[in-house]
Structure 1
Amino acid sequence: MATPAPGGPPPLPPRPPGAGGADAPGGEPRSGAGGFRTALGGLTTRGRSFVAAGIAAAICAYVLGQPDLLRVGLLLAILPLVCVAVLYRTRYRVAGSRRLSPSRVPAMSEARVHLRVDNVSRMPTGLLMLQDRVPYVLGPRPRFVLDRVEPGGHREVSYRVRSDLRGRYPLGPLQLRLTDPFGMCELTRSFSAHDTLTVVPRVEALPPVRLAGEANGYGESRTRALAFAGEDDVIPRGYRHGDDLRRVHWRSTAKYGELMVRREEQPHRARCTVLLDTRAWAYFGSGPDSAFEWAVSAAASVSTHMLERGYAVRLLTDTGTSVPGPEGGFGGDSSPSLGGGSPTDMALVLLDTLAVVAHSDGETLSAAYEALRSATEGLIVAFLGDLDEEQAAGVARIRQRTGGAVAFVLDSDDWVARDATGRLVPAGDADAVPAGEQDGTGRAVRMLREAGWTVVEVAAGDALPELWQRADRYRTREESPDTPQGRHEAGATT
């Protein structure tokens, strides 16, 4: 196999002819009549024009009795058919492969797609035209022209894709287009291989702060103090070389007939639940700068930040769906389904989940409250859309199930508003929104603060790191500015 040119991308492994490969032009052997009719359908506009001109010249030669004109007409009509036959009988065995670098990118970032075409036949190819299918949101469809590829040789090309919207986007199949030297016939064949580009939400680096009611993953806290006492797992494990013989569990050894030891004490990991409100009617607008996309990106940033600090993180939506699921608990060392539950693995799982999260049809957050009924004490960080008083009361009850609670409330009036006819208007047009709607979120915020939530209101253009520090300042003062203690402190400073 030929090596790539110095300084180029690392070589792509050639795919076997049966996987992602294609015979050019045909693939598998076909029946003669049906395959040739298919090849005739590949005549280009030039080829069809030659056939039509040849037939017209032959008819005129017959009517006018001009044998010389008949020869010209036959030449014009036969030339495209000869090109079809030659192209149809030419058999190139070509294998194609694709590599994404990287296969997972944040929104508004670029990824590079490397394509490789290998000629696995014993004869050189002619002119090859490549076209890869990509969704419109990733950019224009890339097209390449490859010169003659020697037997056993290969060609490599690459292109860039970029998406401002998160999601999973299919790439492929790769299409190979063959043409004859005269441009009379053009045949297109597709490879079978597909790939998927995952565009995850953007993650912002957050400053280390200490929130109300939180306990560091392995730091000093009441929860960790209890964990230091430890307790042996009720299920012993098999003896491993180097285990302390003082930990041998003799009762299990006698039961199973092999040496069994008690498991080591497991330190307690502080837990954090990230609650994401996905209700469709709670957010107005769409696109990368919408309130909902801000909430998704913020949830990804907080989840990653808490995992880096040693927390066991769970993502919960208003529908009651959690990642990891009930069988995985909060992840961490007790989640074998997530590759051992390392912070890196958990971050990838959460980012992949947030890459495809969409609006729900729910109207309340009662399902999230039910999902937290069995949850142990821990920190909850919620990203909420518009709330009325009834929904705020439901969110206030969630505070009873947690050790600490921080809510980022996105008031749609600050992002996009509606006039009396329901038409979307730019944010900041206060006359477009009735006064009752303008005060609805404010009353909900006061209810949450009275229930013990640390509430941070989010407006369009706010940066998450600054809001994260603001939540820390609220914790330091122990009360928000709208609570009685906060108002007393504000009055003292004036």
Structure 2
Amino acid sequence: MPTPASRVLSSLTVRGRCVVAGAVTLLLVGALLGERPLVQLAIFTLALPLVSALTVARERFRLSARRTVTPPRVPRGETADVVLEIANADTRMGGLWVLTEHVPGELGTSPVFVVERLAAGARTTLRYRVHGHRRGRHTLGPLRLRLVDPFGLVERGAVGADSAPLLVVPRVRPLVAGGPAGGQGRGGEGSRRSIAVQGEDDVSTREYRHGDDLRKVHWRATARTGELMVRLEERPWRAQATLLLDTRARAHLVAPHARPAGRTDRPRPGPAGDDAPPLDSLEWVVEAAASIGTDLARRGATLRAVTATGELLPSAGRGQLSAEDLLDRLAGVGPSRVSGLDIGVEQACRAAGEGPVVCLLGAVGPDDVVSLIRGRSGPTTDLAVLTDIESWVDTGHGRGHRGPSAASRGALAAQREEAATLLRAAGWRVAVARADTAVAEVWATLGAPAQADPVTVAGLHGGRT
């Protein structure tokens, strides 16, 4: 059990310790020199911290705190206002209170307030702001109270149990009207009628691929070309759309979490006019998923989202994600330790059915996209965005102090190009995203007519065509 002397010593501030050290020195000098005035002054100085400690120890306090966060849900890069109401719930007037509000480092610095002699039953309002520098579910509080004597020699602390949540969601960037879903927002029947009115000779066709429905074979085109051809039917975006996010840590350059909010070591390159560009390629992927998914949900699509570790489920259970559900789930998405995309691809293909899939991928090679091509061999036109993670090295926010070497960058670029070639050959629409590329630009690129590369993907289907 601590003694009264030890409690007094532990409650001394830096100023109080300095005063005690000076008084002890003065006492020794006075005793050695036989100077009684110096000894008396030293004793008085030593008594001052003791009296202050007793005063602070006897002080009673009861305070209540209530926080109001506006808004309680902010996009990354935006600010939230916090109102902290402090009430003296005791029957006596309060002393000198130093209040420190705990704020996570991703939101800013912890504010400090001084409240002096708050009357019994009185209230005071304190305000501060937090900046949503990084996505996630954050907690504001608890409040730490320090009772300080008027001389600043002794302090006594207490920590409250109250707190308030703040959700920082990914930003939603506006998309251009010419994206892949721009002209397909009228539902399934409307899309089928637009194909039917073209006439039998003008219907879009392509070569048969393993897994295609034989009922889709276009016999007139087959007879004309000498090869088995199938009708190409675009799936309506309003029916269903599935997002696949590559969240593997090995596929991205992830920015460190310890960076103070609002501070950067160097300018962050990004799209023109963007004052808070994504810090890394994973953040770009999450932001793209939020923007694309929100746009599709507003068009009425049945939206599903899958990461490398599994499906993101709505709060009500399984099934369709609303735009708000999507943002809430993406707020907590971080880098995963899984090495492959097999789990994500399997669940995305199962969730998508015959609807289109939008894949937002990190650093991938041919081996990573083989399962995608095999799992999506039907007539649906799917989309893939490949991120150029090397472009984020120049931002200074990549993981570690040294980025990939020139040889590594060349190898990553070659693998990405080979993966893109295989996807285009399989009928996918592909775009590459860089650190200075806006989501809207990538979406517009995906909306352009697909250009398949003149290579065969028969080997991906076991040699069958």
Q: Give the shorter-chain TM-score range.
A: 0.7 to 0.9
Deviations 1:410-437 (A, max 9, x none): 13345449xxxx95269xxxx6457654
CA distance in 2, matches of 1:65, 1:459: 80
Which residue is 2:225 aligned to?
none
Q: 2:129 aligns with which of 160, 163, 176?
A: 160
Structure 1 stretches lacking a partner, 5+ long: 1-30, 226-267, 332-345, 485-494
Equivalents in 2 of 1:112, 1:330: separation in Å?
32
SS in 1 for 2:243: strand
State the shift of 1:57 in Å: 5.3
The answer to whether 1:424 aligns with 2:399 is: no
- Per the alignment, residue 357 of structure 1 pairs with 333
| DSSP-derived class of the 2:320 partner | coil
CA distance in 1: counterparts of 2:299 and 2:245, whole angstroms:
20
Given candidates 310, 314, 334, the residue that maps to 2:304 is: 314
Provide the rounded CA distance (Å) in 2 between the counterparts of 1:207 and 1:192.
Answer: 47
Question: Equivalent residues in 2 for 1:453-472 (5 A)?
Answer: 453-472=428-447
Q: Paired residues, what number? A: 385
Distance 1:64 1:387 in 2: 81
Q: Secondary structure at the match of 1:136?
A: coil
Higher relative CO (Cα under 8 Å, sequence separation at least 6) belongs to 2
Distance 2:141 2:113 in 1: 14
CA 1:34 to 1:214, structure 2 compared with 1: closer, same or farther past 3 Å? farther
Q: Which moved more, 1:70-79 or 1:295-304?
A: 70-79
Cα distance change of structure 1 residues 451 and 183 upon mapping to structure 2, 3 Å threshold: same
Q: Distance in 2 between matches of 1:73 and 1:212?
A: 83
> Is the 2:425–2:452 Cα contact (8 Å) retained in structure 1?
no
The residue type equivalent to 1:154 in the other structure is: R
Cα-Cα RMSD:
3.4
Q: CA deviation at 1:38?
A: 3.4
Tell me if 1:379 matches 2:356: yes
Amino acid in the other structure paired with 1:468: W
**CA distance in 2 between partners of 1:43 and 1:111 (Å):** 36
Deviates more, 1:295-304 or 1:441-450: 441-450
CA distance in 2, matches of 1:403, 1:379: 6
Classify the secondary structure of the residue corresponding to 1:112: strand
The structure 1 residue matched to 2:139, chosen from 162, 170, 185, is: 170
| Cα deviations by residue, 1:8-28 (Å, 9 ceiling, x for unpaired) | xxxxxxxxxxxxxxxxxxxxx
1:408 is aligned to 385
**Distance 1:74-1:53 versus aligned 2 partners, 3 A rule:** same
| Partner of residue 376, structure 2 | 399
Share of identical aligned residues, percent?
34
Letter in 2 for 1:362: V
Question: 1:448 aligned to 416, 423, 431, which one?
Answer: 423
**What secondary structure sits across from 1:363 in the alignment?**
coil
In 2, are the aligned partners of 1:215 and 1:270 still within 8 Å (CA)?
no
Q: Note the C-alpha offset of 1:387.
A: 2.2
Paired residues for 1:2-401 under 5 Å: 37-55=6-24, 69-209=38-178, 211=180, 216=185, 220-221=189-190, 270-284=239-253, 286=255, 288-324=278-314, 327-331=317-321, 346-372=322-348, 374-375=350-351, 376-400=353-377
| CA drift at 1:367 | 1.4
Q: CA deviation at 1:119?
A: 0.8
- For normalisation by structure 1, the TM-score amounts to 0.69
Give secondary structure in 2 for the equivalent of 1:424: coil
Task: Could you tell me which runs of 5 or more consecutive residues in structure 2 were left unpaired when the two chains were aligned.
Answer: 195-236, 257-277, 395-400, 456-465
Q: What is the letter of the counterpart of residue 400 of structure 1?
A: S
**Does the CA contact (< 8 Å) of 1:213 and 1:403 recur in 2?**
no
Q: Deviations over 1:148-170 (max 9, x none)?
A: 21221111111122143222333
1: CA distance, partners of 2:71 / 2:315: 28
| CA spacing shift, 1:370–1:224, aligned 2, 3 Å | farther
Q: Confirm or deny: 8 A CA contact 1:105 1:111 kept in the other structure.
A: yes
Q: Indicate how the Cα distance of structure 1 residues 442 and 71 shifts in structure 2: closer, same or farther if over 3 A, else same.
A: closer
**Shift in Å, 1:286:** 2.9
